[in-house]
């Protein structure tokens, strides 16, 4: 695994090197860059690493500026002494967000999450996993959503989700108590992050949790109308092309 460290504190960078050597001995640190300017130049002139660790506050500004000025085509884990930037971190598709001082176990879990998501190939385990599952490692699904609405934040776990739906080009998560909370992700991206045993996309507008299906009604020869709880304002009809897959999902196949 080739790693880039974006960190302006030498002691913190050295600690990260030491922890990486402990939890991922074969990881190679390509470089430590200390400023936004250096990071932008590095990504412009080098092949993307397998993983990058970004401190939030750098000598010449916040590292989020790097994502505005450069193409960061690798998974990113943010490291910071404060949790105030968590929402902003996940908006630039961070895989994880670790608070300093970073613990070895937390770092190990972050790297494992990147590997489970398939963002970095785990070469040491590839031959073993291929023999068991055709080369695909286990997938990791999203554990929680951090959602901001107004001046408030709320953490929502998947079991608290009734369904996710799109409305007027915006995406909303509807909780079991019937509250709509805004999401920045599209349904296409969210569909890949949710556990397919519990969630299923029934049409272009709705991804539903299995426990939110109250009733099923025949709608046409091959289509099904889904009555959801809490109630969905429009008819939640399974599209024709998704009907067969929906029925297999319901039967646990």
Cα torsion 66, 70, 74, 78 to 10°: value is 0
In the prediction, which pLDDT does 140 show?
63
Classify 50 as helix, strand or coil: coil
Bridge partners (DSSP) listed for residue 146: 155
Domains of the chain: 2-133 (3.40.50.2300), 161-250 (2.40.50.40)
Between residues 100 and 95, the one the model is more confident about: 100
Residue 132 has pLDDT above 50, yes or no: no
pLDDT tens digits for range 192-233: 888 999 999 999 899 999 999 999 888 877 788 999 999 998
pLDDT tens digits for range 225-245: 999 999 998 778 998 888 888
Instruction: State pTM to two decimals.
Output: 0.50
pLDDT band at 123 (very low <50, low <70, confident <90, very high): very low
Tokens of 251: 């039967």
Residue 162 has pLDDT above 90, yes or no: yes
Exposed (0-12), middle (13-18) or buried (19+): which is 62, by Cβ within 10 Å? middle
């Amino acid at each position: 695994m080739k790693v880039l460290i974006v960190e302006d504190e030498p002691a913190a960078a050295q600690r990260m090197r030491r922890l990486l050597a402990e939890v991922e001995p074969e990881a190679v640190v390509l470089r430590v860059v200390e400023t936004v300017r250096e990071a932008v130049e590095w990504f412009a002139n080098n092949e993307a690493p397998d993983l990058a660790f970004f401190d939030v506050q750098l000598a010449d500004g916040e590292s989020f500026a790097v994502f505005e000025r450069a193409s960061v085509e690798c998974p990113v884990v943010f490291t910071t002494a404060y949790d105030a930037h968590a929402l902003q971190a996940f908006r630039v598709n961070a895989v994880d967000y670790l608070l300093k001082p970073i613990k070895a176990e937390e770092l190990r879990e972050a790297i494992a999450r990147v590997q489970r998501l398939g963002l970095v190939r785990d070469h040491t385990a590839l031959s073993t996993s291929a023999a068991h599952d055709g080369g695909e490692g286990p997938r990791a699904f999203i554990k929680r959503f951090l959602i901001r609405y107004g001046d408030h934040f709320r953490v929502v776990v998947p079991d608290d989700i009734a369904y996710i739906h799109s409305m007027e080009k915006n995406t909303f998560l509807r909780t079991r108590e019937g509250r709509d909370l805004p999401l920045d992700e599209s349904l296409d991206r969210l569909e890949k992050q949710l556990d397919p045993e519990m969630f299923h996309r029934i049409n272009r507008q709705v991804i539903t949790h299995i426990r939110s299906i109250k009733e099923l009604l025949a709608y046409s020869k091959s289509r099904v109308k889904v009555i959801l709880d809490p109630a969905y304002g429009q008819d939640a009809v399974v599209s024709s092309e998704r009907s067969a897959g929906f029925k297999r999902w319901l039967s646990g196949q």
